[in-house]
Chain A
Amino acid sequence: MEKQLDKILRRVQKPGRYSGGEWNAVRKDWQSTDVKMAFAFPDVYEVGMSHLGLQILYGMVNDREDALLERVFAPWPDMEEQLRNTGLPLTSLESRRPLRDFDIIGFTLQYELSFTNILNMLDLAGIPLRSADRAGGDYPLVVAGGPCAFNPEPIADFIDVFVIGEGEEAVNELLDAYLSARRSGEGRRDLLLRLAGCDGFYVPSLYRVEYNEQGTVHMVTPVGKNVPALVRKRVVADMDAAYFPTRMVVPAIESVHDRAMLEVQRGCTRGCRFCQAGVIYRPVREKEPQTLLRHAGELLCSTGWGEISLTSLSTSDYSRVAPLVSELIKQHGPAGVNVSLPSLRVDAFSVGLAREVQKVRRSSLTFAPEAGTQRLRDVINKGVTEDNLMEAVEAAFTAGWHSIKLYFMIGLPTETDEDLHGIANLARRVLNKGHALVRAKGRLKVTVSVSSFVPKSHTAFQWEPQNTMAELKRKQALLRDLLRGRGLVFKWHDPQSSFLEAVLSRGDRRLAPAIEAAWQNGARFDGWSEFFDLGKWQRAFESTGVDPRWYAYHRYEYNDTLPWDHISAGVSKKYLVREHRRSMEGAITPDCRNGRCPGCGLCTTLATKPYLAGGETVAPLPDTVQ
């Protein structure tokens, strides 16, 4: 088979995506390793290799004596064609083994538009798509985790077990449970029951879902002993002591983020009401600067990367960011290592940081005010004012940048055309500021990039409908008109893919046949504009009798059972209701980082608390609605 694989590798565009053999890749002895797991990333190599979660789990599992973890990525269409033509199965990168030979296949669910790639990978591996069809045979256990596992329902029929929340501890428990089950000769169903009893494991086949006549979910009932009615997310309590991979695999071909990643903290407590990550990664847990410096040194030494990126949901919020950045530059700058900050807060402080790390101002600076008026920014609880933005761009232009990117979202709840005018006005104010401050006026550029709001589970906006595609297109056209002129660039995101994202984000189990049909119609890499084709999906929805508009445009009521209500992110529904109400009143809710806990309920529910490296911690309130 090696030989055959080499033959097809000569026929694909980028064989380095499949050949393996990268620096720090681990190849263990197959025969003598007890449990074999594959980490399956349902997107192309260059995307998957930029994912920190992969590196963490890869290092952790391979550090165990009794387990191995190998990687597999979604084959690009040219590779899929070769595999289908030759009948070769999908194989892992490390030992080039068929996926079917593994005990466990773990998919990561980073975005909904990768669901068809999951089906495609299972199919190319010769594994039945539906968990019910795997029940009888000797197939690998198909596990999935990641942000989209917080509404696992649309793909519940395809996955045996979901891991809800952070994977560091859960993956070890999964492997241990697998080994114990095997030692005691348990069958597949026993193993599933065993896992369902562990914290954070959701076994969808052990839940019965009933629906109301109006189409909403009536009830979700666990079936079987020890199957919990509510599955709570896993949280790593002590981030500072948590495993961190300092021997990351260095990609063989240039990847989206081809640099060392240093996770400075997990979680973000700003509480933007549209943001799912802000909820599912709560509470905020910072790492100690000393730990980070040690990890950075080891990481750079073991990988040879010339750049280190400080990752997190909002790195400039990390309380020790300034001393950390200067110390990193002091220690590694002389060896030519650059420090990069992927996300900047909208303020002068962040620009100062960017200035420190970027000696040459070659790229543009990006800020995300998200909405064009203060009213709407209050609705979404984005604690950014126009003054913050003007201060930030002033600092940027003064420091020598001449290109600014502004990110906004359109279609947010309560949005009117006035808010769109607000976007254009903000952009013009920024441009005018540039005219006053930038010397090379010809190079001055303000880019406005808009994406469309997608209501996500577990957020204060989970009940909200999405704007219709026609409405989003109208708003985009309006903005395009408002943003004409020298120095302004307008970019937008295809509303069709945002629509599908909303359907899949808010969907329930009745979507499974449609997802499968879309895959059969050839849907692949739906997150890639060059492949995305809503037509394939529309035919799939029609042939399976699913109305996608209902899922995207339906307004849920507070007392509706939501398809994901049996999955808990730790934040109470009462709090989300309160946040939704406050948002409609335009009332802002402060960040719990600043010492006042607004009572989201998470800390008491999950027996955890925020941790700031600066020393201050927040005393969480009991789960009460004030």
Chain B
Amino acid sequence: MPRYRIQYSKRGSSCYISHLDLVRTLERAFRRAGLPIAFSEGFNPHPRFSFAAPLPVGVEGLAEVLEVELQEPVEHKDLAQRLNGTLPPGLAVLEVTSVPDNAPAPMATLTGAGYVVHIDADDLPGPLPEGAVQDFLDQERIEVTRKSKDGKEKIRDIRPGILKMEVLSQVSGLTVQLELKTGSTMNVRPEEVMEAFFRFTGMTLDKADLEIVRTRLF
């Protein structure tokens, strides 16, 4: 069955749709558009969607990646147009390409993600010391604790996962650009980095104050 790679954005009110609900939302949008999705076999058939990386609730995505199998071929432009006509506000298809049958799943080839993180001036715990980002990155190790699924706390070094960190603006608050390793080999989250960074500068940060946008997947 034909397989398509769909690049889409998830912004505005749609960023509050959880990943599971997004699957439902997309399935309905495909139905409304009259695009027949292929379903898995078995007891509880589910649509053949495959995502590069689920987006956490509250995070906007500018160029997310989804692969879908359809029951019959559709032209790329047609697929994009029809789907854009039936997606709820905030979700939009940017580009459609075909994927060969034997291509690996998008999750398997993913290595990193780009983010822009913003904190409002009111929420900034204090002024940033000169050169703080460079000093932060110059550390050999950056340790964070993360709870694993069984509830145990584990200490991890995320420094190798931070590919890039740059202050974009300090005009109204702080805006930072990040490039982080994402995928099966290493997975670093932007809020972890920001928390570690503020801790490094001696300040505490409320993670819920972060406005996070995922700008790209690579």
Hey, which bits of chain A sit against chain B, CB under 8 A?
6-7, 9-11, 14-16, 18-23, 250, 252-254, 258, 300-306, 335-336, 360, 362
Q: Which A residues lie within 8 Å of B39 (CB)?
A: 336
Given A9-B58, A22-B88, A254-B24: A16 touches B32 (CB 8 Å cut-off): no
Q: Given A14-B18, A250-B28, A304-B31, output 9 extra A-B contacts at Cβ < 8 Å.
A: A15-B58, A16-B57, A20-B13, A23-B29, A250-B88, A254-B24, A303-B28, A303-B32, A305-B28
- Report whether B30 and A304 are in contact in the complex, using a CB–CB cutoff of 8 Å: yes
22 A-B pairs in the complex with CB atoms less than 8 angstroms apart: A9-B58, A10-B208, A10-B209, A16-B57, A21-B89, A21-B90, A22-B88, A23-B25, A23-B28, A250-B88, A252-B16, A252-B25, A254-B21, A254-B24, A301-B32, A302-B32, A303-B28, A304-B28, A305-B28, A335-B36, A336-B39, A360-B43
* Chain A residues, CB < 8 A from B209: 7, 10
On whether the beta carbons of A304 and B208 are closer than 8 Å, the reply is no
| A20 to chain B: closest residue by CB | B13
Q: Which residues of B contact A258 (CB under 8 A)?
A: 24
Do B58 and A252 have beta carbons less than 8 Å apart?
A: no
Within the complex, the shortest CB–CB distance from B22 to chain A, in Å, comes to 9
Contact flags (1/0) for B7-39 with A, using CB distance below 8 Å?
000001110111011001101111110001001
**C-alpha gap A10/B12 in the complex (Å):** 13
Tell me whether B21 and A11 are in contact (CB under 8 A): no
A15-B57, A360-B43 are known contacts. Are A252 and B17 too (CB-CB below 8 A)? yes
Say how far A29's CB is from chain B's closest CB, in angstroms.
Answer: 16
- CB contacts (< 8 Å) of B16 on chain A: these are 9, 15-16, 18-19, 252
Complex interface: chain A residues within 8 A of B89 (CB) = 21
Chain B interface residue count, CB cutoff 8 Å, equals 29
A-B contact count, CB below 8 Å? 75
Cα–Cα, bound, A303→B20 (Å): 18
Do residues A306 and B31 form an inter-chain contact, with CB atoms below 8 A? yes
Residues of B near A304 (CB, < 8 A) are: 27-32, 86
Residues of B in contact with A (beta carbons under 8 Å apart): 12-14, 16-18, 20-21, 24-25, 27-32, 36, 39, 43, 57-58, 86, 88-90, 208-211
Min CB gap B38→A, angstroms: 11
Closest to B34 in A: A301
Say whether A253 contacts B29, CB under 8 Å: no
Chain B residue numbers with a CB within 8 Å of A10 are 58, 208-210
Closest Cβ of chain B: how far from A328's Cβ, in Å?
16
Cα of A305 to Cα of B27 in the assembled complex, Å: 9
Residues of A within 8 A of B32 (CB): 23, 301-304
Contacts of A303 in B (CB 8 A): 28, 32
Contacts of B208 in A (CB 8 A): 7, 10-11
In the complex, what residue of chain B is closest to A301 when comparing beta carbons? B32
Interface of A is mostly: loop
- A6 cross-chain contacts in B, Cβ below 8 A: 211
Task: Give the residues in chain A near B30, CB-CB below 8 Å.
Answer: 304
Q: How far is the CA of A258 from the CA of B58 in the complex (A)?
A: 22
CB distance from A36 to the nearest CB of B (A): 20
Q: What residues of A have a CB within 8 angstroms of the CB of B58 in the complex?
A: 9-10, 15
Q: Is the CB of A253 within 8 A of B86?
A: no
Q: Which residues of A contact B17 (CB under 8 A)?
A: 16, 252-253
Which residue on B lies nearest to A8, using beta carbons? B208
Closest B residue to A18 using CB positions: B16
* A373 CB, min distance to chain B CBs, angstroms: 39
- Provide the residues of chain A in CB contact with B31, threshold 8 Å: 300, 304-306, 335
With contact pairs A304-B27, A304-B29 given, residues A253 and B12 touching in the complex (Cβ less than 8 Å): no
Asked if A252 contacts B88 (CB within 8 A), the reply is yes
CA distance A526 to B54 in the complex (A): 35
CA distance A303 to B25 in the complex (A): 10
Identify the closest chain B residue to A13 (Cβ).
B57
Residue of A nearest to B21 (CB): A253
Nearest to A82 among chain B residues (CB) is B208
- CB-contact partner of B14 in A21, A250, A254, A302, under 8 A: A21
Which A residues are in CB contact (< 8 Å) with B29?
Answer: 23, 304
Give me the 7 closest cross-chain CB pairs, A-B, nearest first.
Answer: A21-B13, A304-B28, A304-B31, A304-B32, A15-B16, A19-B16, A19-B13
CB distance from A306 to the nearest CB of B (A): 7
Report the separation of the CA atoms of residues A300 and B32 in the bound assembly, to the nearest whole angstrom.
8
Q: How far is the CB of B88 from chain A (nearest CB, A)?
A: 4
**Nearest residue in A to B30 (C-beta to C-beta)?**
A304
Contact of B43 among A7, A9, A335, A362 (CB under 8 A): A362
- With A and B bound together, what is the CA distance between A304 and B83 in angstroms? 12
Distance (whole angstroms) from the CB of A82 to the closest CB of chain B: 10
A22 to chain B, nearest CB (A): 6
- Nearest-CB residue, chain B, relative to A16: B16
CB neighbours of B86 from chain A (8 A): 23, 304
Q: Chain A residues near B25 (CB, 8 Å)?
A: 23, 250, 252
- How many angstroms from the CA of A579 to the CA of B31 in the assembled complex? 50
CA distance A7 to B209 in the complex (A): 7
Roughly how many angstroms separate A10 CA and B208 CA in the complex, as a whole number? 6
Provide the bound-state CA to CA distance between A301 and B33, in Å: 9
State A52–B209 Cα separation when bound (angstroms).
37
Q: How many Å lie between the Cα of A15 and that of B12 in the bound state?
A: 12
Min Cβ gap A244→B in Å is 19
* CB-based nearest A residue for B25: A252
Report the Cα distance A335→B208, complex, angstroms. Answer: 42
Contacts of A253 in B (CB 8 A): 17-18, 21
Whole-angstrom distance between the Cβ of B61 and the nearest chain A Cβ? 15
